[in-house]
Amino acid sequence: MTRMTVTNTPKPATLDDTRLVSHTLAAAFDDDPMMRWFFPDAATREAGLRRYFTTLFTRQYVHHGVCERTGAATAFWVSPEGHDKAVPDAETVRELQDILGDRAELFRAAVEEAAKHAPGEPHWYLAVIGADPAARGQGHGAALLRSGLAQADAAGLPVYLESSKPDNLPFYEHFGFTLLGEAALPGGGPAIWAMRRAPQPAAS
């Protein structure tokens, strides 16, 4: 039987894509150390991740970010103009606390710690990117990354991200990111790595 290849051409992600987006990101982050820290119960992790990403997408990034997807991957970006607006409002925070349960305080501490190290220069921020492991090797994540980087390059701005999975660092370095530093999540959590990519000139 021939394996079906899902298209990896980026397109805008809309509210109509919520189910696909949450399913894709739940699968992508199932083995992520930070998400396993926030959702330690393997039996409920998938459902928790789906609710988590549904809330972030529908209440935050789809309105104030640049959201794109392929058939098996999703990325949430924030432009400089969207940084202030993309901060979760009180109702979103309450929803996330309900989803995270007794891990909510750890999550809040992690968000506050990350905010202390936010770059001062205008920049694009890659908030979330993930591809369904079932489509690994088909270029979905790379296609979304190139799309967002092109927008940042067109504006002449750097891009920042935090990665909580060490295996992903070489992937980002391949696209021009450099490592800024490593920090541990508060409360004995796993490490996260901050990375920056300088704007690249347009290809001649």
CB 13 within 8 A of CB 21: yes
Are 129 and 73 in contact by the 8 Å Cβ rule? The answer is yes
What are the tokens at 181?
Answer: 């530093």
Asked if 72 and 134 count as a contact pair (C-beta separation under 8 A), the reply is: yes
Encode pLDDT of 127-170 as tens digits. 999 999 999 889 999 999 999 999 999 999 999 999 999 999 99
- Specify the pLDDT at position 129: 97
pLDDT given at position 22: 98
* Consecutive H or E run containing 148: helix 140-154
Cβ atoms of 75 and 126 closer than 8 Å = yes
Query: What span, in angstroms and rounded, lies between the C-alpha atoms of 164 and 184?
Result: 10
User: What per-residue confidence (pLDDT) applies to 203?
Assistant: 60
Whether 3 has a pLDDT exceeding 60, the answer reads: no
Looking at residue 100, what is its pLDDT?
A: 95
List pLDDT tens digits, range 70-121.
Answer: 999 999 999 999 888 777 788 888 999 999 999 999 888 888 877 777 888 9
CA 13 and chain centroid, separation: 14
Q: What is the pLDDT of residue 5?
A: 59
Q: How far apart are CA 168 and CA 177, in angstroms?
A: 11
Amino acid making up residue 31: D
The pLDDT value recorded for residue 2 is: 45
The pLDDT value given to residue 1? 41
**What is the predicted pLDDT for the residue at 15?**
98
pLDDT at 204: 45
Say what the pTM is.
0.92
Report CA 188 to chain centroid distance, whole Å: 22
- pLDDT, tens digit, 9 for 90 and up, residues 33-58: 999 999 999 999 999 999 999 999 99
DSSP code for 164: S
Tokens of 13: 């992600």
Mean pLDDT of 181-191: 89
Q: Which of 62, 120, 55 is nearest to 92 (CA)?
A: 55
What are the chain's domains?
11-197 (3.40.630.30)
